[in-house]
């Protein structure tokens, strides 16, 4: 009979969420993280370092990272997590490009990597060595109950290369942003809050 050990931890990160779990036997370890962020980035960084120190340095692998959504209080620790751990698989919800843009515009004073992540999560994650990405939810064009998208598709390798460019002036895009987010009073305020690098 194989003995199975479990350990589940809600890490203290203030407003946000960093939850980890480990299921292990004498032969195998399965480690997962559910969300990794906080509005207090120092707290999530300390929690990740503490978590790292509890794990054997020869086995710093996260088998599964689940992101509930892309807001900073649930993702602000990702860059530090990828610094200390290899992440094999990521599951995240689908957000349209305009939804990701609106999240970016409402989130100020974040490091550049966060805005690159929002611009296109798949290349961002693949550049950091993620082997498989599963996107759950609605696809562009409004297809309801779409099956999860998987990157790379089984049997294929996708080259990772990211080329982030500033969005060109686009009147339709501006109008869409203003219609969907009444917090922005004029385009100057919008541009001052634009932090793409």
Q: Tell whether 62 is covered by a domain.
A: yes
- Statement: residue 196 has pLDDT above 60: no
Residue of 166, 184, 165 whose CA lies nearest to 175: 184
Name the β-bridge partners of 20: 9, 33
Q: Tell whether 185 is covered by a domain.
A: no
Compute the half-sphere exposure of residue 92: CA atoms within 13 Å on the CB side of its CA: 27
Q: Tell whether 177 is covered by a domain.
A: no
Q: Tell whether 46 is covered by a domain.
A: yes
CA distances from 161 to 100, 123, 126, 158, 177 (A): 19, 6, 9, 9, 28
Count of domains observed in the chain: 1
Q: Tell whether 133 is covered by a domain.
A: yes
- Statement: residue 6 has pLDDT above 60: yes
What are the tens digits of pLDDT across the range 121-134? 999 999 999 999 99
Residue of 100, 73, 108, 82 whose CA lies nearest to 164: 100
Q: Tell whether 170 is covered by a domain.
A: no
Q: In which domain, by residue range, is 54 found? A: 5-163
Q: Tell whether 64 is covered by a domain.
A: yes
Q: Tell whether 97 is covered by a domain.
A: yes
């Amino acid at each position: 009979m194989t003995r199975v050990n479990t350990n589940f931890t809600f890490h203290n990160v203030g407003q946000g969420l960093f939850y980890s779990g480990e299921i292990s036997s004498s032969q195998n370890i399965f480690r997962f993280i559910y969300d990794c962020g906080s509005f207090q980035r120092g707290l999530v960084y300390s929690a990740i370092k503490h978590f790292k120190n509890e794990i054997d340095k020869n086995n710093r692998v996260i088998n599964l990272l689940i992101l509930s959504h892309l807001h900073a209080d649930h993702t602000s620790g990702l860059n530090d997590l990828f610094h200390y751990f290899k992440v094999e698989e990521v599951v995240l919800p689908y957000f349209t490009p305009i939804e990701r843009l609106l999240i970016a515009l409402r989130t100020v004073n974040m490091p550049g990597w966060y805005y690159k992540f929002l611009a296109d999560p798949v290349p961002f994650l693949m550049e950091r060595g993620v082997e498989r990405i599963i996107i759950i939810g609605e696809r562009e064009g409004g297809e309801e109950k779409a099956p999860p998208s998987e990157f790379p598709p089984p049997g294929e390798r996708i080259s990772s290369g990211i080329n982030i460019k500033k969005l060109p002036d686009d009147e339709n895009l501006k109008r869409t942003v203003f219609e969907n987010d009444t917090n922005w009073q004029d385009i100057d305020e919008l541009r001052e809050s634009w932090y793409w690098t």
